[in-house]
Structure 1
């Protein structure tokens, strides 16, 4: 990519962020933050024992799923609207490589994801020690980066909001639960001599090989027992880099092969 063409990437990223602010992304983020804060205060009043632990676990889970679904839904609806309004066709008619469009969009959505993680981590400081909240927040950034890339790949491939969002949700939930599914498939209660059990176990192992292990991201035990260390983030950074590159490669291949 030439130097002048690469200069389009920050411009597209900036306009992506501006578009998010104009479509009231920040207001929705603020409302989710206030609702989560209210939930934390409610739990502090109704919990009889282990109040702090219940607060941390429930609020962290709500914040994580809220961030994932908010980022994914915004990306999918934004790109789908650009296809409907012929904005994508207009961009591709300019003397600019399609890779610049994708990387600019990814950079803009990555900034939104980072801002979302920062806001939610600040809220988590009200119920969690700062070090654990900071590590949880960094892990959430990595998780949201993968969600951004997956959302872009699927909306570019499907071009419709509902199928793309359902596919992203399925990808995320499967990636979060694939380790538990592996444990159950190879557990002591499974008949290892059954052909069906062996087939299911191999199928699950194959999916686990292809999917990122998101059960390692934003773990609740970090907040409950303060077990997280900064070096625990290194494997997550490696997973994020690998799958971000893979998903970006798939998206770019799809963009360049299509006749738009």
Structure 2
């Protein structure tokens, strides 16, 4: 793996264990202890881990806490891959509803290579990414900008969605659970996602592997509500994400096509 991906995996291993030893990380990653120490120093400078004797401990939750700006740089290399993979599944000429979230910003950037498109966005960040892009018809859902997240929610957003029809809804998600289904940390965000599902012919869910096995506060829908799910390949590695493999199995059993990239 390249340096960026190695940093992502190192962060996930520390977050998954709460405390990880340099020796364990080196063995898991197949690199020298010196390389692990340098990577941990880099993550500490970014405020993502705290160095302790012999290893590191996590400094932030992996369950979605914090606002958009707080999470925007987490696992950026992985989210670039997810964004490219999602965009590749969308045909030019499609009417796309693009959800809010850090991952969908990466999707928005990749969609500029899939034009022409009509894209309706549910966040101010994705709107900024697609503004003035050639051959992209950009529509911004009305609504209230939720502080911190800058997602567009509330009655105005719901009424906008109910008046439109989409070929595909690119849905980001806070939690993916085998029994609980798709879920979000905010009631407002969950309501907007439910409207997006109802108005779309195809639901393409996307989330990095840290979301697998998570039951967030508000249930959005059962797993079968989505047609496809894009996640990163570490989801199948139980050493990094113990809940990953059983959640992927549940998705497949529900008829969801899984793409691990």
TM-score, scaled to structure 2: 0.27
TM-score, scaled to structure 1: 0.27
Which one has a bigger Cα radius of gyration?
1
Determine which structure has greater relative contact order: mean sequence separation of CA pairs < 8 Å that are 6+ residues apart, divided by chain length: 1
More helix by share: 1
More strand by share: 2
